[in-house]
Chain A
């Protein structure tokens, strides 16, 4: 069972690592990278470099664990500070400004820390000698423009009771040096390649929708934007010079409704199929308090939808009238405001020409 558990962990870690890099981050995590309470700084760590950092931190923790004489990591850090003062050189100053990672510093000075003495560190005689190890944490230059912390999750690696995870096998190439420049470049880049979705106001939290069908295509209209439902009058008043998707005028109690051939609107490039679907129209769905109405085949249930159930359409989509997709219901959610706006503009343009 133990083995099975670890296999699953390995697989989960593999799957997560593949899906992690470009996942939309909830919020960047904050990582404390300097143990000195005076100069302690919190930096924003981009999502992409988090796994690398985490591996480095784990390695640093494991190295600390391997030191037999140091039980108290806090004490180690104090000793470290003493040693730092002794060994600070001009070169170190240049390479390790105040903001530099203390993990990096700490690992560099571990041999000194053990005995507080440069010479003959006997504890290391049985272990491989550490020759100027590669930095295990990144050098992070804190930029003035770094936004204040958004998330109160901080990892202080020098907390004595920090659970030390099992030794990770880290490939040599993983322990490459990440330079300040690289970090800055990564910070400058957008954390994710995904396009940002714009969620309409009515889409926040929970909202109700009405589902209607066009052929087998299911479309959802948010109830707050639904102006009403009427049976389609088979005798629409045709208007000359209108686009193909404009079915005609239909009278209701208030006046004339402009009825849109929904199938042709949503798939103008699939004319034969759209025309076939339009044979089944029975109802019209009024858009908000406008005089625009979408023709539909049948009206189905009203559904309560949660914001997170919608795959929201990214901004700059080619179909701006499409708010998103209700994956669970295999249904397209309409952005009525955008749709009405488009129809108004197209109508004006058409009338001018």
Chain B
């Protein structure tokens, strides 16, 4: 568990929406926090799904991730006092997203090293967290590139259905582009999500994924579970809301796999 030694950053990304990015971010965060790790979730999506998950209205926040990224002069203390919010779960904090993130490309346009803004920001928080989980936007833009530039692990949730497979190809293409640009020191793992064993479409899509991406695919699945919706209504990770459901079990297996560091993911290069 490298998070024990130095800050580990995991990016949750897919250029298709609705595949379970936020759910994955929240639940992995919840399980890491349950193990005693200090976890920070970052909402990098202008749609602010993660922020809403915890019942926070991003418009009402004086400071959010947009401010953190555009005020690199803020030190760790300022970041903690102004932007880091509690989720109500021990060891689990988050920084709110903002609709203003949609304009960040323009804000950072003149900045040198604009692909490393997030990296600089997180460097200041090394002392305070063991894991940072980035809930990325479903668009190839400056935010996604920042996330890929800083992460040690990239997790790509992919709904087990035909259309999601197309989005997955796009995402992997982005990963290879980033690797080509010189950033290849992260491992990516594809996480089959919303798997419904009762439907042929799900089973077929999973089979296709296993055939096409045998190295990068995590061999288990996150099953479809209505409790995920209930947990989001309660603004809690599923392991806190309902520790013994199928969904929680799925993420527990996943977190065990990730923490063991067994390499069933692929290197970006």
Residues of A within 8 A of B (CB): 8, 11-12, 14-16, 18-23, 48, 193, 215-218, 266-267, 270, 272-273, 311, 319, 322, 325, 327-332
Bound-complex Cα distance A32 to B225 (A): 63
Chain B residues with CB under 8 Å of A330's CB are 2, 187, 261, 263
Most chain A CB within 10 A, of B1, B4, B146, B183, is at B4
B1 near A327 with CB under 8 A, answer: no
Interface hits, B136-178 → A, CB 8 Å: 140, 142, 145-146, 149, 152, 173-174, 177-178
Chain A residues with CB under 8 Å of B181's CB are 12, 15-16, 18-20
Interface hits, B176-190 → A, CB 8 Å: 177-178, 180-183, 185-187
User: How far in angstroms is the closest Cβ of chain A from B245?
Assistant: 25
Bound-complex Cα distance A229 to B2 (A): 23
Chain B residues with CB under 8 Å of A23's CB are 182-183
- Cβ of B213 within 8 Å of any chain A Cβ, yes or no, is no
Chain A residues with CB under 8 Å of B177's CB are 8, 11-12, 15-16
**A-B contact list, 15 entries, CB within 8 Å:** A8-B173, A11-B140, A11-B174, A12-B180, A15-B178, A15-B181, A16-B182, A18-B146, A18-B149, A22-B112, A22-B113, A23-B182, A267-B4, A270-B36, A311-B185
User: How far in angstroms is the closest Cβ of chain A from B36?
Assistant: 6
A329 near B263 with CB under 8 A, answer: yes
Closest to B146 in A: A18
Closest to A171 in B: B109
Chain A residues with CB under 8 Å of B253's CB are none
Closest to A186 in B: B112
User: How far in angstroms is the closest Cβ of chain B from A307?
Assistant: 13
- Cβ of B74 within 8 Å of any chain A Cβ, yes or no, is no
* CB < 8 Å neighbour of A18 from B114, B186, B267: B114
- Cβ of B260 within 8 Å of any chain A Cβ, yes or no, is yes
Bound-complex Cα distance A15 to B140 (A): 9
- Cβ of B115 within 8 Å of any chain A Cβ, yes or no, is yes
Known: A12-B180, A16-B180. A21 touches B5 (CB 8 A): no
B267 near A21 with CB under 8 A, answer: no
* CB < 8 Å neighbour of B114 from A8, A21, A319: A21
Chain B residues with CB under 8 Å of A14's CB are 140
Residues of B within 8 A of A (CB): 1-2, 4-6, 36, 112-116, 120, 140, 142, 145-146, 149, 152, 173-174, 177-178, 180-183, 185-187, 259-261, 263, 267
A15 near B174 with CB under 8 A, answer: yes
User: How far in angstroms is the closest Cβ of chain A from B1?
Assistant: 5
Chain B residues with CB under 8 Å of A311's CB are 185
Bound-complex Cα distance A331 to B174 (A): 26
Closest to B1 in A: A216
Known: A11-B177, A311-B185, A325-B2. A331 touches B261 (CB 8 A): yes
* CB < 8 Å neighbour of B186 from A12, A216, A267, A327: A327
Known: A15-B145, A15-B174, A18-B142. A319 touches B6 (CB 8 A): yes
Bound-complex Cα distance A331 to B6 (A): 11
* CB < 8 Å neighbour of A273 from B36, B174, B263: B36
Chain A residues with CB under 8 Å of B173's CB are 8
Closest to B145 in A: A18
Bound-complex Cα distance A8 to B183 (A): 18
* CB < 8 Å neighbour of A328 from B140, B146, B187: B187
Chain B residues with CB under 8 Å of A12's CB are 177, 180-181
Bound-complex Cα distance A327 to B4 (A): 15
Bound-complex Cα distance A331 to B142 (A): 30
* CB < 8 Å neighbour of B5 from A11, A193, A217: A217
Known: A216-B260, A217-B2, A332-B5. A19 touches B185 (CB 8 A): no
A22 near B5 with CB under 8 A, answer: no
B5 near A319 with CB under 8 A, answer: yes
Closest to B140 in A: A11
User: How far in angstroms is the closest Cβ of chain A from B119?
Assistant: 8
Closest to B267 in A: A328
Closest to A189 in B: B112
Bound-complex Cα distance A48 to B113 (A): 9
User: How far in angstroms is the closest Cβ of chain A from B133?
Assistant: 16
Bound-complex Cα distance A148 to B258 (A): 48
Q: What 4 pairs across the A-B complex have the smallest Cβ distances? A: A330-B261, A18-B115, A22-B113, A21-B113
Closest to B258 in A: A330
B1 near A215 with CB under 8 A, answer: yes
Bound-complex Cα distance A23 to B115 (A): 10
Bound-complex Cα distance A216 to B35 (A): 12
Bound-complex Cα distance A194 to B131 (A): 21
Most chain B CB within 10 A, of A11, A14, A15, A22, is at A15
Bound-complex Cα distance A267 to B185 (A): 24
* 9 new A-B contacts at CB < 8 Å, known A16-B177, A18-B142, A22-B112: A8-B173, A12-B177, A18-B114, A18-B149, A193-B113, A216-B261, A325-B6, A330-B261, A332-B2
User: How far in angstroms is the closest Cβ of chain A from B162?
Assistant: 21
Bound-complex Cα distance A26 to B152 (A): 22
Bound-complex Cα distance A11 to B173 (A): 10
Chain B residues with CB under 8 Å of A18's CB are 114-115, 142, 145-146, 149, 181
